[in-house]
Amino acid sequence: MTRVADPRRNAIVELMRVPAEGHDELWLQEALQQAVILELATLPPYLCGLWSIVDEDQGSDVFRAIRTIVFDEMSHMGLACNMLTTIGGVPRIADGGLVPVYPGPLPGGVQPDLTVSLMRLSTEALDMYSHIERPEDAVVQGLHEPEPTSIGAFYQAILDAFRARPELIRGTRQLTRNMSSHGEGNDIVPLTSLEDVEAAVQIIKEQGEGTTVSPENPFPGDTGELAHFYTFRELFHGRRLIRVPDDPTGFAFQGDQIPLPRTLPMGTVPRGGWEEGGVPVPDEVRTKLDTFNRRYSALLRFLERAWQEEQPNTAAQMLGRAVGQMFALEGPARDLMRIPLPDGSGDTYGPEFRYVAEEP
């Protein structure tokens, strides 16, 4: 049984401090549970940015780039769940003590100085997104703080543990989902061998961070697509990343301009939600918030049940219902982004992504 550490502590940092010889089955189960919640934590901020883009600009390069990243992250979460179940673990997803709270840190102590918030798309949001995805060894850094534990380094430690103990891979409760329409390598596939796990970790790492020699995503949806970190830095700088002419190994944000799309003016959600943060919530807003939070919570429960289910057909049905709930979130989220806050700032409400326990 998976022993789950609190993701709001420095659980990942503590796991990374354990010597390699201590990376046993229990260590790997705890690490993969943390990976599942870490992948989940990236989705709400990215979705708020995506949904805030006005209808008229949803054909823009920026909209398509962020939408692609969202589907990549969904695939990464599915692969992390398959990694946990292939060694006999059971993902915990629908748990009020584990679901990320915003604003707040990334789970497990990754990027400890970063506060992740829910807000509209802006240069501030894009800077936050790129801090989430930052590599330890970037081709073009563009960030000047000391390098903390990165998501990629954490996954490398997970892969090293699999390589040391390949006999742990049992192929139990593996889900499949065809997501190739969203990009190369995006399918959720069964992980029944070390080679399968190696391929999954490579996809997760390099889609997010690129490689040590190139900012390009080796598993793109479109030719020339960059890894998430570099895409977000391009959008932050408002310029394409290009090779520097006098240095064939160097890159700089000196290419064509990238205008940001127009957005709905969603404000930053206070910790615990609007009402808990002291913002008046009229009945119309409360109804939409409750609808969103119930659908989000149902999504998490369907995901958890999918990877707990022993029968493949039932598991696939649960995953399909989770996907349905995912698409049902956009409507109430965008409705909230059109309702002004009462403070006269011109900002609007937005989704809270709060977990609500299932009614008995």
Least confident span in 107-111, 237-241, 353-357: 107-111
CATH architecture designation of domain 11-264: Up-down Bundle (1.20)
Locate the domains of the chain by residue range.
11-264
CA–CA separation, 161 and 88 (whole Å): 15
pLDDT value of position 10 = 80
Query: How is residue 97 written in tokens?
Result: 């003590």
Q: What is the pLDDT of residue 111?
A: 83
Instruction: List pLDDT tens digits, range 122-163.
Output: 999 999 999 998 886 655 655 444 455 678 888 999 999 999
CB 357 within 8 A of CB 344: no
pLDDT value at residue 148: 52
**How does pLDDT run across 214-246, given as a tens digit for each residue?**
788 777 777 778 989 999 999 999 999 988 776
Q: Are 63 and 47 in contact (CB under 8 A)?
A: no
For residue 91, name the pLDDT band (cuts at 50, 70, 90).
very high
Q: Model pTM?
A: 0.92
Does residue 318 have a pLDDT over 80?
A: yes
Chain centroid to CA 256? 28
